[in-house]
Amino acid sequence: MTAGPTPPAGAAGTVTPVLAVRGLKRHFDGAGGTVRAVDGVSLTILPGEVVGLVGESGSGKSTVGRCVVRLDRPTDGSVEINGTDVTTLAPRALRPLRKDFHLVFQDPSSSLDPRMTIRQIIAEPLRLHGTADRAEAARRVDELLAQVGLRPELADRNPHELSGGQRQRVSIARALSVDPALLVADEPTSALDVSVQASVLNLLADLQRERGFGCLFITHDLAAVEYLADRIAVMYLGRIVEQAPAAELFAAPKHPYTQALLSAAPVPDPAEQRGRSRIVLGGDLPSPLDPPPGCHFHTRCPLATDRCRTESPELRTLPGAAGPDSAPRQVACHLVADDGTVPDAAEASA
């Protein structure tokens, strides 16, 4: 078994985050105006930590992931990997650092070269970064295939000869081939049949525990993020509206949008479902081409006040909202008191 990455030490012995995103913005200029896909996102991931990034389609979460791995260049803000700012690095300077972070794409069918064998696909990062000779690369491929639960004879097949779940396991093996400190998983199960989603999630969870890499897990699947994540950041229209340890967020969501998301999530027990209040949001997600003033959520929030319509809330830490060994809770809502007291959106929407 390959050991996980060693946590880097910062000043005064503090642990350097494997990912530190600060004030990230990604705007796209077009004929119709500027699309504010990501509009000031900040988050950190420590070594060995899984942070879930959730929200509706169009919230900007996949764009955050693409900026983190530099498939998109941010309009503003910074992205640090293991303490190194990669935001504006030229491709030549960025290349040797790419072994520290990898992306698992949503659709394995489009992210694997159909002309290459599975062995060549998994070995490609080793070849590009020069971290293994031919014999060592062959051994590593065999080891990785075993770790992701694939039979060794699949190594000489092409991607189209594998099932969707098998292709996604190949994507994970490729991403982990050079022992990255950070894995960005962008909706890694959404393109798969329901019957194989759980096996891929279990694989990710097992590998993350064994190797200790940090993980940004991007998804709209609340059950998946509750299972995998240590902390959760909730996005709405390009901004993070709430961050909290996973257990605390599911037990007591603070932001009205988070309350609405969790109220809509199905639960296995029908009796429990009957006892829950569903928060019905009016309207559609506004366009990032023309976001509403003030709090972006006020056009759908059952609790919105005049202040919400004119003043944008800052993402602030709630004093005492977390235990001494827990990450702090943060929320961007005028209606949440400093002590964490929050109005009940379910009652307002009833």
Give the mean pLDDT of 108-132. 91
Those residues with Cβ within 8 angstroms of residue 110's Cβ, 6 or more apart along the chain or in another chain: none
Q: How confident is the model at residue 192 (pLDDT cuts 50, 70, 90)?
A: confident
Pick from 204, 203, 202, 198: nearest CA to 216 = 204
Which position has the higher pLDDT, 273 or 190? 190
For the chain, domain boundaries: 15-229, 254-350
pLDDT in tens, 65-81: 999 999 999 999 999 99
Give the mean pLDDT of 288-305. 93
Which pTM was predicted? 0.89
The DSSP secondary structure of 98-155, one letter per residue, reads GGGEEEE-S-HHHHS-TTS-HHHHHHHHHHHHT-S-HHHHHHHHHHHHHHTT--GGGG
Q: How confident is the model at residue 11 (pLDDT cuts 50, 70, 90)?
A: very low
Mean pLDDT score across all residues of the chain: 88
Give the mean pLDDT of 217-238. 95
Q: How confident is the model at residue 267 (pLDDT cuts 50, 70, 90)?
A: low
Tokens for 34, please give them: 């500027």
- Residue percentage of the chain with pLDDT more than 70: 89
Q: Are strands 330-331 and 316-317 parallel, antiparallel or unpaired?
A: antiparallel
- Write down the pLDDT at residue 272: 56
Of 84-98, 186-200, 266-280, the poorest mean pLDDT is in 266-280
* Number of other residues whose CB lies within 10 A of the CB of residue 280: 13
Of 15-29, 38-52, 173-187, 334-348, the poorest mean pLDDT is in 334-348
Tokens for 127, please give them: 């070849």
Give the mean pLDDT of 309-319. 93
User: What's the CATH fold of domain 15-229?
Assistant: Rossmann fold (3.40.50)
Three-state secondary-structure class, residue 169: helix
